[in-house]
Structure 1
Amino acid sequence: MLYKNIHIGKYIKEMVDHKNISIERICNFLAKDEEFVEKVYESKSIETDILLRWSKLLEYDFFRLYSSHLILYAPPSAVNKTDAPKSEKAPQFRKNIYTQEIKNFILGRIESGEMTQAEVIKEYSIPKSTLHRWIQKKS
């Protein structure tokens, strides 16, 4: 799965097909009509409250696709950045939490020859020691 360009409607449609859920059940659960559901399948993005309902219906965390994108493609934050004050109300997240899907994605790119270890380290800002640990565990 590529996390760079996310077309959420396509992923929702794939999961609906995989789980073989009827359109009637979907419409009842979402309290929407078939036309709305078809529009979702064609949409590159949807509102978060609707995505949350789809996640519950399909028992799949679609938000993880976006989290994975941030882990892989967001620029690394500066360690001693003092320009912007930190909000005590906003939650602070660690960028270096990698899901198994992310690890498999990156290791797959290395194994296929699509990228070298050095390219992965540079492109995704993954520490060299972390990448080597993943490779050792996979072996």
Structure 2
Amino acid sequence: MNFKDIHIGQMIEQKIIESKIDSQRVCNFLKCTEEEIKQMYREKVLDTETLLKWSKLLEYDFFRLYSQHLILYAPPAAKHKAGKTNLPMFRKNIYTKEIIHFILEQINTGEMAKIDVVREYGIPKTTLYKWLIKHREQAE
């Protein structure tokens, strides 16, 4: 999975194929035609309300794809810029299993060196090496 370039329509279509959901059920749930569904598959982005409906229908959190992108590619906010807000605050340094797997795959396939991962994604060296040790042990 390439978290840098997300094509949400293709992801939804892939999940529909895997789930083997009848197109008529999809049309009824989303209240649209088959042609409109096919058009959504071609779209790189969808509005949040539509994406929420797809997430419910397919029982898959498509928003998490974007969260993973933020974890990997968005620079951490400076503390002085963060300011006071009534919005919920999330910790950026919580890495999901999918992110860890993605990063370790980048290293194991030779696509990225360890130092490149540290520079590109801002993951501390100690964290990366802990992942490498832990996942090496689990593989054995």
TM range (shorter): over 0.9
**2:109 corresponds to 1:112:** yes
Q: Could you tell me how far apart the structure 2 residues matched to 1:70 and 1:15 are? A: 22
Q: Provide TM-score, normalisation by structure 1.
A: 0.93
Shift of residue 71, structure 1, vs aligned partner: 0.5
Residue pairs, 1:1-139, within 5 angstroms: 1-78=1-78, 81-83=79-81, 85-87=83-85, 89-139=86-136
Residue deviations 1:42-83, cap 9 Å, x none?
1000011110110111111101100010011101223xx324
SS at match of 2:80: coil
Distance 1:83 1:61, change over 3 A: closer
- Unaligned residue ranges in structure 2 (runs of 5+): none
Distance 1:109 1:83, change over 3 A: closer
Shift of residue 133, structure 1, vs aligned partner: 1.1
Shift of residue 85, structure 1, vs aligned partner: 2.4
Distance 1:117 1:29, change over 3 A: same
TM-align CA RMSD: 1.1
Counterpart residue type for residue 45 of structure 2: S
Q: Could you tell me how far apart the structure 2 residues matched to 1:82 and 1:20 are? A: 49
- Unaligned residue ranges in structure 1 (runs of 5+): none
Q: More helix per residue: 1 or 2?
A: 2
Distance 1:105 1:84, change over 3 A: closer
